[in-house]
Chains A and B, each alone.
Chain A
Amino acid sequence: SQQGEEDPQALSIQEGENATMNCSYKTSINNLQWYRQNSGRGLVHLILIRSNEREKHSGRLRVTLDTSKKSSSLLITASRAADTASYFCATDGRDSSYKLIFGSGTRLLVRP
């Protein structure tokens, strides 16, 4: 079953603008990861944030994690048309199974 929800479900922005996606989850986690998927393709790992971290950066990506609210956000700054894709958060629980449970995803469209 899915761990949680992402919002918005879909987001359309102009190139150069920032895009923010939010993810909520239900159970305790070891870490939370963000993935990108182009239409009909596999997943690309973007960033991993551990449960004891609050913020992490990677290039134009900024991820925050609030374990008290069981939520995370992904910010893409200065978006480009090539950022158009679906973005998923995935949680790795504390049950030592290493299973990733994915959120519902956000479809991002960056208009040139």
Chain B
Amino acid sequence: GAVVSQHPSWVICKSGTSVKIECRSLDFQATTMFWYRQFPKQSLMLMATSNEGSKATYEQGVEKDKFLINHASLTLSTLTVTSAHPEDSSFYICSARVTPRTDTQYFGPGTRLTVL
């Protein structure tokens, strides 16, 4: 099956710093990737849709200047949490849609962000 990787798998940073999380599709091209956030013992909340070569589409209530998304190639999307604060601490998960099999999404293993 298709493999999606995320890097780093965990990161601890100081409040006010920016953190970049990478999402890669390893053996397929993904024109669309999705970013989710998950708080402990809660479900996944969709943050944004990342489209290769165009601006990301953010869900209601998600600050686009806070969570910068770049999808520069068909195999890489990045999420940058700018000026991170403790309330941004969460589990961030990406998924990639396999083109042209539109129904199938594959999820990365997630990145645990802890902001001190």
Contact = CB atoms under 8 A, between A and B. Distances in A.
Contacts of B104: 45, 48
Interface residues on B, range: 20 to 34
Interface string B85-106: 0000001010101000011111
SS class of chain B's interface: helix, strand, loop or mixed? strand
B93 A43 contact: yes
Interface string B60-74: 100000000000000
Interface residues of A, number: 24
Interface string A1-18: 110000000000000000
A92 B32 CA distance: 14
B110 A2 contact: no
Interface string A65-103: 000000000000000000000001000100001111111
Contact of A98 (B60, B97, B107): B97
Contact of A100 (B41, B46, B60, B112): B46
Contacts of B106: 45
Interface of B: 6, 32, 34, 36, 41-46, 49, 57, 59-60, 91, 93, 95, 97, 102-110, 112
Interface of A: 1-2, 30-31, 35, 40-45, 48, 88, 92, 97-105, 107
